[in-house]
């Protein structure tokens, strides 16, 4: 099993998701815990980069390079899941994270859905 990951959870991911990730020894920080609950996407990504954390989000804008071009970063995981319940997020995200190391996520956007994981190199 790869090393625990440093993760930064966007505002739409609830506390129970953070707790489930923490129970697997991941180092989890939530935007609401560091005063970024109302921050825009760019500010959230900059905080993730500064903290060397993989950003986990449901926000489609992280896949739109016109709106948010990415520079070097620890990684972004964009979840595509419906309905977006905490249970569904945990069921999708935990097994996926068990298969990967932080090095694999660097400079990648991963669009993760129940059917597939699309890896996009962003630099």
What's the pLDDT at 78? 94
SS3 content of the chain, % helix, strand, coil (to 5): 35, 20, 45
What's the pLDDT at 54? 96
Strands (E) in 1-123, as ranges, are 6-9, 27-30, 54-57, 76-79, 108-112, 117-121
For the chain, what are the domain ranges?
6-121
CB 25 within 8 A of CB 51: no
In tens, the pLDDT along 57-85 reads 998 776 565 445 567 899 999 999 999 99
CA distance 32 to 14: 10
In tens, the pLDDT along 32-51 reads 999 888 888 888 988 999 99
pTM: 0.92
């Amino acid at each position: 099993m790869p090393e625990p990951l440093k993760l930064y959870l966007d505002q739409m991911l609830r506390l129970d998701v953070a707790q489930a990730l923490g129970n697997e020894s991941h180092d989890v920080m939530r935007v609401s815990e560091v005063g970024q609950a109302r921050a825009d996407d760019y500010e959230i990504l900059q905080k993730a980069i500064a903290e060397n954390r993989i950003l986990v989000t449901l926000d489609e804008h992280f896949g739109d390079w016109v709106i948010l071009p990415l520079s070097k970063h620890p990684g972004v995981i964009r979840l595509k899941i419906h309905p977006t319940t905490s249970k569904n997020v945990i069921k999708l995200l935990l097994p996926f994270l068990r298969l990967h190391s932080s090095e694999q996520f660097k400079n990648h956007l991963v669009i993760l859905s129940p059917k597939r994981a699309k890896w996009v190199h962003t630099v």
